[in-house]
Amino acid sequence: MSEKQIEIIARGVLCGDGKVLLCHTKGADNTYLPGGHVEFGESARESLAREIQEELGVAAQVGGFLGVVEHQFLQKGELHCEVNLVFRFECDALTPAAPPPSMEDYIEFRWVSVEQLLPAKLEPEPLCEQVAQWLNASEGNNSFFASTF
């Protein structure tokens, strides 16, 4: 029996024209913020920049820390647990005016208006409300913690 692990995920919020860049696994009905697993010896910011480069083929400038969301979910009948570290990021090559590229066959990206995050089934679900709050908040300490446990 394999030992279960809590996955550490670095995720990013990129906005433009009132829209947020989301990732979607083809064939699934949910979406999530771009990013991926933090590798051993790598900072969360480095991980997010690497994942953006690998998944979208563009360089990202990772900015301020926004918050943490613990998340548990079933995938193919198996319980998964993760901690999502969420940062702002910027990328001049990505705008809502052009379809985002995908360097991976199994995922695609799309721009979704802030008001449509819940219908887009953004996971973890606490991010649906929190992303809008982050975007409307003035600069400063607006960090956030949520959990689906």
Mean pLDDT (the chain) is: 91
Question: How does residue 75 score in pLDDT terms, banded at 50, 70 and 90?
Answer: confident
**Looking at residues 44-70, what average pLDDT do you find?**
96
Question: How does residue 124 score in pLDDT terms, banded at 50, 70 and 90?
Answer: very high
CA 135 to chain centre: 15
**Residue with the larger pLDDT of the pair 88 and 75:** 88
Question: How does residue 1 score in pLDDT terms, banded at 50, 70 and 90?
Answer: very low
Q: Which domain holds residue 46?
A: 6-147
Q: Helix or strand or coil: residue 64?
A: strand
pLDDT greater than 60 at residue 138: no
- Domain contains 119: yes
pLDDT greater than 60 at residue 59: yes
- Domain contains 141: yes
pLDDT greater than 50 at residue 37: yes
**Looking at residues 111-139, what average pLDDT do you find?**
89
21 within 8 A of 95, measured Cβ to Cβ: no
- Domain contains 73: yes
- Domain contains 125: yes
* C-alpha pair distances (Å), 143 with each of 18, 68, 85, 130: 21, 8, 11, 10
- Domain contains 1: no
Report the CATH number that the domain containing residue 12 is assigned in CATH. 3.90.79.10
The helix/strand count (H/E) of the chain reads as 2, 8
The total number of structural domains that make up the chain: 1
**Residue with the larger pLDDT of the pair 60 and 4:** 60
Residue whose token pair is 């550490």: 8
